Amino acid sequence: MPAAATLPINPDVLTWARMESGYDVDRVAHRLGTKEDRIVAWERGEAHPTLRQVQELAAFFRRPLGLFFQPKPPKLAPLAADYRRLPGVVPGHESPEMRLAIRQMLTRRDNMLNLLGELGEEHAVFNLVAHLGEKPEAVASRLREALDLPVAVQLRWRDEWQALNAWRNAVEHLGACPSNGLGRN
C-alpha cells in the first residue's frame, strides 16, 4: 500500500500555531498518535504531514486549515497581561484552554464592536481602573458602588447562580456586554 501523500506546509506557521495555542510537542504528538520526533521534523521543514494530519492539527489548534500554507505566521497582539490568573501562572504561559477562551472572547468583542458600528450605535466605555498596589477591599468597594450591588444585597443571594446572574445583569446594565447565555434565569 503506497504511503499517503504529504503536504508542504510552512514549518514556521506550524511552530507558531502550536506555541500560540499553548501546546508542547509531546501533547501534539499524543493527540495525533505520532512520535514527537515527527512533529519536530515537521516544524524544522525536514518532513511534511499528510492532508489528514494537517486537518487534525487545524482542528486541534482551532485554526483554519489554510493558515498552514501561508508564507509567514500572522501577527497577533499578545494576550493581555492584565487578566487575573491563578497563583503560579505566568503571563504567556496560560493553559491551551485559557488561551483559546481568551481568543474567543476577543473575537466576540471585536464582532460586537463591529456590529455596533454598523448599526450606528455607541458602546459604553468601562472606565473603572484598579492597580496591583491597591487593597482588594478598596477595589471591591468601588466596583460594588459602580455596579450598584451593595454587600447587603449580595448576602441575600441564595446560590452562586443567582450571584452570577446579578453580577452579569449589573455589568450589562452598564453596557459592557450583551448576555452570553451563562448562568440560569
Do residues 15 and 63 both lie within one domain? yes
Which residue type does 81 have? A
> pLDDT value at position 176?
59
Give the range of the structural domain holding residue 95, as residue numbers without chain letter: 81-123
Per residue in 114-151, is it b (16+ CB within 10 Å) or e — as a string? eeeeeeeeeeeeeeeeeeeeeeeeeeeeeeeeebebee
Do residues 129 and 185 both lie within one domain? yes
Residue 20 is assigned to a structural domain of this protein: yes
Read off the pLDDT of each residue in 105-109 and give the average, rounded to a whole number: 80
> pLDDT value at position 40?
92
Residue 21 is assigned to a structural domain of this protein: yes
Do residues 50 and 106 both lie within one domain? no
Residue 34 is assigned to a structural domain of this protein: yes
CATH code assigned at 22: 1.10.260.40
Cβ burial, residue 7 (10 Å; 0-12/13-18/19+): middle
Which set of grid coordinates corresponds to residue 179? 448576555
> pLDDT value at position 171?
80
Residue 2 is assigned to a structural domain of this protein: no
Do residues 27 and 55 both lie within one domain? yes
Read off the pLDDT of each residue in 87-100 and give the average, rounded to a whole number: 72
pTM score: 0.59
Read off the pLDDT of each residue in 146-157 and give the average, rounded to a whole number: 86
If one counts the domains in the chain, the total is: 3
Q: Is the pLDDT at 142 greater than 80, yes or no?
A: yes
Residue 5 is assigned to a structural domain of this protein: no
The set of residues, in sequence order, having a beta carbon less than 8 Å from that of 153 and lying 6+ positions away, is: 166
Do residues 20 and 60 both lie within one domain? yes
Residue 84's pLDDT band (boundaries 50, 70, 90)? Answer: low
> pLDDT value at position 104?
80
Residue 119 is assigned to a structural domain of this protein: yes
Residue 178's pLDDT band (boundaries 50, 70, 90)? Answer: very low
Name the more confident of 41 and 130.
41
User: What's the Rg (C-alpha) of the chain?
Assistant: 22
pLDDT per position as a tens digit, 40-69: 989 898 889 988 988 999 999 888 888 888
Residue 178 is assigned to a structural domain of this protein: yes
Do residues 185 and 129 both lie within one domain? yes
